[in-house]
Structure 1
Amino acid sequence: MTHKQRLIYSILIAVSVLAIMLGLSWAQNAGMITEKMFQYIAIAVAVIVVIINAVMRRKVRS
């Protein structure tokens, strides 16, 4: 994986996390999920993103 590929994937991940958080916020405001569930899902998404970022960092070739 090159630095350019990692940058593209990082941007895609950031946009997808933003979309997930906006969707969760909408679902919470609509009463579909509780605030506690929102927190659990948000933490899970953050952990997954950190893991993906670490894997991508190891695969970058200089």
Structure 2
Amino acid sequence: MTNKQRLMYSILVALAVLAIMLGLSHLQNIGVITEKTFQYIAITVAILVVIINGIMRRKVKR
């Protein structure tokens, strides 16, 4: 994986996280999920992003 590919994947991951958070926020506002559920899902998403970023960082060819 080149640095350019990693950048593209990073942008894609950031957009996906933004979409997930906006969706969760909407679900919370209409009462489908509680604040606690929102927090747990948000923390899980953040941990997954850190793991994905670490994997991508190791795959960059220097």
TM-score (norm 2): 0.99
Match of 1:16 in 2: 16
Unaligned stretches of 5+ residues in structure 1: none
Q: Deviations over 1:10-52 (max 9, x none)?
A: 0000000000000000000000000000000000000000000
TM-score (norm: length of structure 1) = 0.99
Task: Quote the residue 2:47 is aligned against.
Answer: 47
Identity, in percent, stands at 73
- Aligned-residue Cα RMSD (Å) equals 0.2
Matching residue's letter, 1:44 = T
Q: Which consecutive aligned stretches of 4+ in structure 1 deviate over 4 angstroms post-superposition? A: none
Gaps of 5+ in 2: none
Size of the aligned set, in residue pairs, is 62
Q: What SS does the aligned partner of 2:31 have? A: coil
Residues 1:35 and 2:41 aligned together: no
Counterpart-to-counterpart distance in 1, 2:12 and 2:58: 18
